[in-house]
Structure 1
């Protein structure tokens, strides 16, 4: 397993070693000792699986209570996955990292606590799996506008079409108004 640095040192790309032949493949997707050595000690308490169609954008989400770190991967399809630093006293505050995650490249992204997270579906469909370091708490849930100009995420929108958003994400707050850590 390879841990790859991003422009935000706390956010890591994790690339598994894949062993394959004509019968299929095998890969180790998680090992506590390697993860803790490269990303810091964490305990994962919840795992989620979602399925979304082409053009759907989910995010940018985080929780102010029961703050979650997320280890995310795609098991079917392809997404553009984004982490935004919401930690006011961080040297990378307000910066973002975007990575293509797909069933083909088998990469994962570590999104630590204190980051907003979102993804945009680039394939016909995508299935997204993620481990969380704390439980979902709807009372502390925040959605930051996906297209906030002060963050200026370069989403790879197909044909420049607006993404398909949930009501919650359409009503997201600006980065400036969003609670910080």
Structure 2
């Protein structure tokens, strides 16, 4: 396993070791002790989530507030997505900055998303199966988000907005300035 820093503080790209042979592949998607040794981060994950999305579905930009904030490790089981994070921690040197990465079933990379980050993804394949490993239980009253097309965040989704499929809730999310002034 390789763990690489991204441009955003405390956010890491995880590249698992993949064993390939004539039968297919095998990889260890997560091993707590090894991840802690490499990254210096030792999290206890308590909930796994999975979503299935069709081409053009954008989910985000979501986060949980306060004591219910979640650290996540996200990955694609099937398909291809553009995964985007934004640092929403006001005391962070990368506050308000975004980072995007392609996650797919070929590279099998994962993204470590720390507490205090907004997260979203756009499905670029016919279908995607997306998995989230979370260190805190989902709490409906603490969910929040920032609108995906926020002009201050200026996220390049590299996809026509008119072709995106969003939930009604995600279409109504506030802007970065409305939340953080």
Smaller-chain TM-score bracket: over 0.9
Q: Name 2:120's counterpart in structure 1.
A: 118
CA drift of 1:140 comes to: 0.8
- Report Cα offsets for 1:17-40 as digits up to 9, x if no partner: 111111111111111122223052
4+ runs of 1 displaced by more than 4 Å?
none
* Structure 1: gaps of 5 or more residues: none
User: Do the aligned partners of 1:75 and 1:102 also contact (CA within 8 Å) in 2?
Assistant: yes
Q: Counterpart in 1 of 2:172?
A: 171
Residue 151 of structure 1 is matched in structure 2 by 153
Residues matched between the structures, number: 179
Matching residue of 2:111: 109
Cα distance in 1 for partners of 2:137, 2:43 equals 13
Q: Secondary structure at the match of 1:173?
A: coil
TM-score of the aligned structures, taking structure 1 as reference length: 0.94
SS at match of 2:33: helix
In 2, Cα distance between equivalents of 1:35 and 1:116:
22
Distance 2:180 2:141 in 1: 13
How far is the alpha carbon of 1:177 from its aligned partner?
1.6
TM-score scaled by structure 2?
A: 0.94
Structure 1 residue 11 displacement after superposition: 0.8
Number of the residue aligned with 1:97: 99
Other-structure match for 1:136: 138
Asked if the contact 2:63/2:70 (under 8 Å) is kept, the reply is yes
Aligned pairs (5 A) from 1:1-181: 1-37=1-37, 38=39, 40-65=41-66, 66-157=68-159, 159=160, 161-178=162-179
Structure 2 unaligned regions, length at least 5:
none
For 1:39 and 1:49, locate their aligned partners in 2 and report how far apart those are by CA, in whole Å: 26
Q: Contact between 1:143 and 1:168, CA under 8 Å: does it hold in 2?
A: no
Of stretches 36-45 and 132-141 in structure 1, the one that deviates more from structure 2 is 36-45
Give the 3-state SS of the residue equivalent to 1:136 in structure 2. coil
- Structure 2: how far apart are the matches of 1:92 and 1:9? 6
Q: CA deviation at 1:160?
A: 5.6
* 8 Å CA contact 1:54, 1:124 repeated in 2: yes
